[in-house]
Amino acid sequence: MKLSTSEENYIKAIFKLQDLHNTVPATLLAAEVKTKAASVTDMLKKLYSKKIIHYKPYKNFTLTNAGKKIALDIIRKHRLWEYFLVHKLGMNWDEVHPIAEEMEHVNNPLLIQKLDEYLEHPCFDPHGDPIPDKNGNIRMVEQSDICSSPIKKTLTVSSIKDQSITMMDLLKHYQIKIGTKLKLVRKFDFDGSVEIKIEKLAPTIISNQVAKNIFCTQ
């Protein structure tokens, strides 16, 4: 099925919102793709005509099974390209998202197959997000944010929820990345901030907002 870049961006946005809310209202989708409600309505009609979404006017909507498959394929391409850019071209994890946003729309199954083989089938991208396999299956790991983790137990940073440039820059300042070993030393009731200890570094305090975006495995 031939899809435009705009259509693919909408499908990926619906998949993200559906994962959070089960069904998606047009207002949330408009905010996610940063456009007007009228434009969203027009796009929903197009996607419905292609059997990509379940849709009725003025009602919440969801992706069809075909729509979910398309969304997972787009996400797979995006995360494979991020992995390639970081681990093969040596780019920083805060530089690769906009490039991968462009590369995810390259529709060449053989290229993605060869890319996956070349990278030796990675399961997670540089930000710790799972990479769907060629069948759309996603490997999940048990993880929790720092605030919900046990005190004084060694944790390994496994994923970052907020992947904005500003957040990536802040984590670089704290020397936190995927794979970083740390311990939660103390929680402060006043504002929810926490003290953490990273190997070979002095203890430091991070805000509750930052801590809730850093997920770790035990």
Taking residue 144's Cβ as centre, other Cβ atoms within 10 Å add up to 14
Residue 70 lies inside a defined structural domain of this protein: no
Residue 68 lies inside a defined structural domain of this protein: no
pLDDT confidence bin for 172, thresholds 50/70/90: very high
Q: What is the total count of domains within the chain?
A: 3
Residue 100 lies inside a defined structural domain of this protein: yes
Q: Is the pLDDT of residue 1 over 90?
A: no
Taking residue 182's Cβ as centre, other Cβ atoms within 10 Å add up to 23
Residue of higher predicted confidence among 80 and 141: 80
Q: How far apart are CA 145 and CA 125, in angstroms?
A: 18
Q: CATH number for the domain including 130?
A: 1.10.10.10
Residue 69 lies inside a defined structural domain of this protein: no
Residue 45 lies inside a defined structural domain of this protein: yes
Q: Where are the alpha helices (DSSP H) in 109-207?
A: 109-118, 165-174
pLDDT tens-digit readout, 198-208: 988 999 999 99
The H or E element containing residue 208 is: helix 208-211
Asked if 163 and 199 sit in the same domain, the reply is yes
* Distance between start and end Cα atoms, the chain: 43
Asked if 129 and 154 sit in the same domain, the reply is no
Residue 73 lies inside a defined structural domain of this protein: no
∠ CA 82-84-85, rounded to 5°: 65
pLDDT tens-digit readout, 12-46: 999 999 998 999 999 999 999 999 888 999 999 99
Q: How far apart are CA 111 and CA 104, in angstroms?
A: 12
- What is the reported pTM? 0.85
**Angle formed by the axes of helices 65-87 and 109-118, nearest 10°:** 50
Expressed in percent and rounded to 5, the helix, strand and coil fractions of the chain are: 45, 15, 40
Domain finish residue from 92, 125, 140:
140
Domain range spanning residue 128?
Answer: 78-140
In three-state secondary structure terms, 6 is helix
Domain finish residue from 119, 140, 161:
140
Q: Is 95 buried (19+), middle (13-18) or exposed (0-12) by CB count in 10 A?
A: middle
Asked if 132 and 148 sit in the same domain, the reply is no
Residue 95 lies inside a defined structural domain of this protein: yes
**Angle formed by the axes of helices 65-87 and 5-21, nearest 10°:** 100
Asked if 158 and 172 sit in the same domain, the reply is yes
pLDDT confidence bin for 54, thresholds 50/70/90: very high
Asked if 36 and 97 sit in the same domain, the reply is no
Q: CATH number for the domain including 157?
A: 2.30.30.90
Domain finish residue from 63, 86, 110:
63
Residue 211 lies inside a defined structural domain of this protein: yes
Asked if 165 and 212 sit in the same domain, the reply is yes
